Amino acid sequence: MPPSAHDKLLFTPGPLTTSLSVKQAMLHDAGSWHFEFNHIVAEIRRRLLALAGTSRDQGFECVLMQGSGSFGVESVLGSVIPPNGRVLILANGAYGERIVRMAEVLKISHLAYRTAEDTPTNPSAVERILAQDPAVTHVAAVHCETTTGILNPIQPIGQVTRQHQRRFIVDAMSSFGALPIELESSGIDYLVSSANKCIEGVPGFSFALARRDPFLATAGWARSLSLDLLGQWQGFEKTGQFRYTPPTHALLAFHQALDEWEAEGGVTGRGARYQQNHATLMHGMCSLGFQPFLPAHVQSPIITAFRHPADPAFRFDEFYRRLSDRGMIIYPGKLTQIDTFRIGTIGRLFPADLEQLLAAIRLSLNEMGCALPFNSTPQPHAIPG
């Protein structure tokens, strides 16, 4: 496949459509021990802290970890909870459930607090649980639950977590870089995200931002060698290098992606473009009669889940194929109870790309014999909490 601007557009939650210049940054072979490459690694670590509005001087550390976002989350979970610790996991979608599964596999004592997939976690409920369960040492939450695009209120959750003197882990995979996150006022001790989301790099590594004091007190707790977060940090401190082979090309691409993120105006600029993409999408989809799964006030501009329309002529597989034939990739749903599909509005996409997608959606539905606009009377749904 040629590395061109003619690749299909990815309306997905990542890997994403990236800029040509990010792809071109990978056309180099970098020596993983070489000082020039290690300088880039150090720069990335420093700039990720700056992106989060902090620095080493302000008591945070940045650790890069090979592997996709799940590796980063598992690295934090498996490294910073003491052997006798217990984690409260707040779940309202597949990624919260993945943290539960990690805790099971790692044999970490845990408690899941679930809300329905269209309902954000209530900080008062977290407060009640923390008051009732003194064994809980850590709370883990997902900021933007990419299953639906729902936003969880991490700031008030973090505040009650801090009031109860527990540590707070946030999976900010699909929000970091585009939605404002304040580490300090949100009481975040560990934040995890990855290269191929809102910073618009390519897959290959994840990263954790860690509050130094509690982090340095985690020695000996890691349940894995290669995912040992403190071990990885110590490696960087000692040699400036990754302990094991780094994804060199992905790091070169990310360095370029950070430049482009800054040039766009950082969180404000990138977030504004994603908001415009999302507004364009919602306007077009609603006029076609599609129903978003979430109420607007909890919906992020990152990804949106739409219900399958009731029209018998609509079949998702055919819809997907027709859009793909037109050069556009959307995403299947991930909800357990209801048929949905998802459209991502992140990556190197602009409102004009969303307009193009909407035109392709209309054409594809016409070809399938759907009667447009769909009847958009909201259908009741019952999702167990």
Ligand X SMILES: Cc1ncc(COP(=O)(O)O)c(C=O)c1O
Tell the smallest beta-carbon distance from residue 175 to ligand X (Å).
8
233: how many CB neighbours lie within 10 A of its CB? Answer: 24
Tell the smallest beta-carbon distance from residue 69 to ligand X (Å).
3
Q: Is 14 in the site for ligand X (CB under 6 A)?
A: yes
Q: Is 95 in the site for ligand X (CB under 6 A)?
A: yes
Q: Is 80 in the site for ligand X (CB under 6 A)?
A: no
Of 54, 70, 304, 340, the one binding ligand X (CB under 6 A) is 70
Which of residues 16 and 81 has its CB atom nearest to ligand X in the complex? 16
Which of residues 181 and 370 has its CB atom nearest to ligand X in the complex? 181
Segment contacting ligand X by CB under 6 A, of 69-77, 229-237, 289-297, 370-378: 69-77
CB 133 within 8 A of CB 99: no
How far is Cα 126 from Cα 122, in angstroms, rounded to an integer? 7
Q: Is 173 in the site for ligand X (CB under 6 A)?
A: yes
Segment contacting ligand X by CB under 6 A, of 113-121, 168-176, 309-317, 376-384: 168-176
CB-nearest residue to ligand X = 69
Tell the smallest beta-carbon distance from residue 368 to ligand X (Å).
29
How far is Cα 149 from Cα 162, in angstroms, rounded to an integer? 26
Number of residues located near ligand X, criterion CB under 6 A: 13
Q: Is 78 in the site for ligand X (CB under 6 A)?
A: no
CB 131 within 8 A of CB 100: no
Tell the smallest beta-carbon distance from residue 95 to ligand X (Å).
4
Cis peptide before 295 (omega within 30 of 0): no
Strand order in the sheet with 205-211: 60-66, 205-211, 190-194, 167-171, 138-142, 86-91, 109-114
Of 38, 92, 115, 174, the one binding ligand X (CB under 6 A) is 174
Give the bridge partners for 342, in sequence order.
305, 331
Which of residues 13 and 292 has its CB atom nearest to ligand X in the complex? 13
Which of residues 95 and 341 has its CB atom nearest to ligand X in the complex? 95
**DSSP states of 253-308 as a string?**
HHHHHHHHHHHTTHHHHHHHHHHHHHHHHHHHHHHTT--BSS-GGGB-SSEEEEEP
Segment contacting ligand X by CB under 6 A, of 48-56, 169-177, 219-227, 259-267: 169-177
Which of residues 38 and 118 has its CB atom nearest to ligand X in the complex? 118
Of 142, 267, 335, 360, the one binding ligand X (CB under 6 A) is 142
Q: Is 68 in the site for ligand X (CB under 6 A)?
A: yes
Which of residues 119 and 356 has its CB atom nearest to ligand X in the complex? 119
Which of residues 70 and 304 has its CB atom nearest to ligand X in the complex? 70
How far is Cα 212 from Cα 107, in angstroms, rounded to an integer? 25
How far is Cα 190 from Cα 117, in angstroms, rounded to an integer? 24
Of 9, 10, 11, 13, the one binding ligand X (CB under 6 A) is 13
Segment contacting ligand X by CB under 6 A, of 68-76, 123-131, 228-236, 358-366: 68-76
Give the bridge partners for 9, in sequence order.
328
Segment contacting ligand X by CB under 6 A, of 66-74, 107-115, 285-293, 321-329: 66-74
Q: Which residues contact 58 (CB under 8 A, 6 or more apart)?
A: none
Nearest by Cα to 306 from 324, 288, 323, 328: 288
Q: Is 194 in the site for ligand X (CB under 6 A)?
A: yes
CB 173 within 8 A of CB 194: yes
Q: Exposed, middle or buried by CB within 10 Å (0-12, 13-18, 19+), for 369?
A: exposed
Q: Is 146 in the site for ligand X (CB under 6 A)?
A: yes
How far is Cα 97 from Cα 120, in angstroms, rounded to an integer? 14
List of residues contacting ligand X (CB under 6 A): 13-14, 68-70, 73, 95, 142, 146, 171, 173-174, 194
